Amino acid sequence: MKSMAAGALVAMTLLAGCGAQGPAARTAAAIAPHATARAGGFTDLSGNPVSIGSLSGHPVVLAFLSPSNWDSGAEVPLLIRLAGGYQPDVAFVAAGENASLSDLQTFSDNNQLNFPVWADPGGSELARRHFSAVPAFQFLDRGGRVVSSHQGFMAKGELLSAIAQITQ
């Protein structure tokens, strides 16, 4: 009985972090739906500069996550399953917001991520893309154009719908 109550408390905590406004209210409306993604301030886990432009020709799911954020952690198992089903046709990238390279490497190793993890030092890319918190997502088409953006937890159906838009 205690374990059921504890499980319910964890579920309520995760849902509370999602906000009660619904998916439409959490969408980053300030982002122009077809803005072109520019090369930015990402680095790989070795500290080398990388950019979304290097993934040109592939639809991209860019997930801004933080190793210390509960909602980010809750998204990881679903992202791993989706990446396993869509790769190599769709590129998945986790952008670690405001975390050290060693913390991101540990996050990647502990979660056995099957897609690259890039660092976003100081959260500059997160802010440049008009997000204020994690998790946050951008979905880019094969030409690198931002098709949709979403701030906050995304349920499986929401992720599948957004991926369908960039793979058409």
pLDDT, tens only, 49-88: 999 999 989 999 999 999 999 899 999 999 999 999 999 9
Question: Model confidence at 122, in pLDDT bands (50, 70, 90)?
Answer: confident
pLDDT of residue 134: 95
Domain count, the chain: 1
Alpha carbons within 13 A on the beta-carbon side of 50: 20
Q: 3-class DSSP state for residue 60?
A: strand
Q: Which residue has the tokens 């803005």?
A: 35
pLDDT at residue 112, rounded to an integer: 95
Report the C-alpha dihedral over residues 10, 112, 136, 160, rounded to 10 degrees. -90
Around Cβ 87, how many Cβ atoms within 10 Å?
13
Q: What domain range is 96 assigned to?
A: 2-167
CATH number of the domain that 40 lies in? 3.40.30.10
Average pLDDT taken over every residue of the chain: 80
Reading the block at residue 69, the tokens are 């954020």
What residue type is 93 in one-letter code?
Answer: V
Please report how many Cα atoms fall inside a 13 Å half-sphere around the Cα of residue 59, on the Cβ side. Answer: 17
Tell me how far the alpha carbon of residue 142 is from its chain's centroid: 18
- Asked if pLDDT for residue 36 goes beyond 90, the answer is no
